[in-house]
Amino acid sequence: MTSLNGARVLVTGASGRIGPVAVAHLRAAGAQVTTLSIQENPGLEAERVLLGDTRSQEDVRAALEGADFVVHLAALAHRDIAPPYDVYSVNVVSTFNVLAQAGAAGVGRAVVAGSINAYGLPMNRHDVTPAYFPLDTDIPVDIADWYSLSKHHGEGTARMAWRQWGIDVVTLRFPHVHDEHALMAQSKQLEADPRPGLREAWSYLHTEDAARAIVLALTATTTGAHAFFLAANDTIAPYRTEAMLEAFAPAAPRLRRFVEREVPIDLTPARSSSASRRTAACPCRRSTSRPSSGDPHNGDPARSSDP
Residue-wise pLDDT for 84-119, tens only, equals: 999 999 999 999 999 999 999 999 999 999 999 999
Phi-psi region of 260 (alpha: psi -120 to 50; beta: other; left: phi over 0): left
* Alpha carbon of residue 105 to chain centroid: 26
Q: What is the pTM of this model?
A: 0.91
Distance CA 168, CA 188 (A): 39
Distance CA 1, CA 121 (A): 35
pLDDT computed for residue 273 by the predictor? 72
pLDDT computed for residue 2 by the predictor? 76
Measured from the Cβ of residue 305, the count of other Cβ atoms closer than 10 Å reads 6
pLDDT in tens, 175-192: 999 999 999 999 999 999
Q: Specify whether the CB–CB gap between 263 and 235 falls below 8 A.
A: yes
Measured from the Cβ of residue 138, the count of other Cβ atoms closer than 10 Å reads 10
pLDDT computed for residue 265 by the predictor? 98
Residue ranges in the chain modelled with pLDDT below 50:
274-287, 289-291, 300-307
pLDDT computed for residue 272 by the predictor? 79
Distance CA 296, CA 184 (A): 18
Distance CA 181, CA 160 (A): 39
pLDDT computed for residue 292 by the predictor? 57
pLDDT in tens, 123-158: 999 999 999 999 999 999 999 999 999 999 999 999
Distance CA 231, CA 201 (A): 10
List, by residue number, the catalytic residues.
Answer: 147
Dihedral sign (CA 143, 147, 150, 152): negative
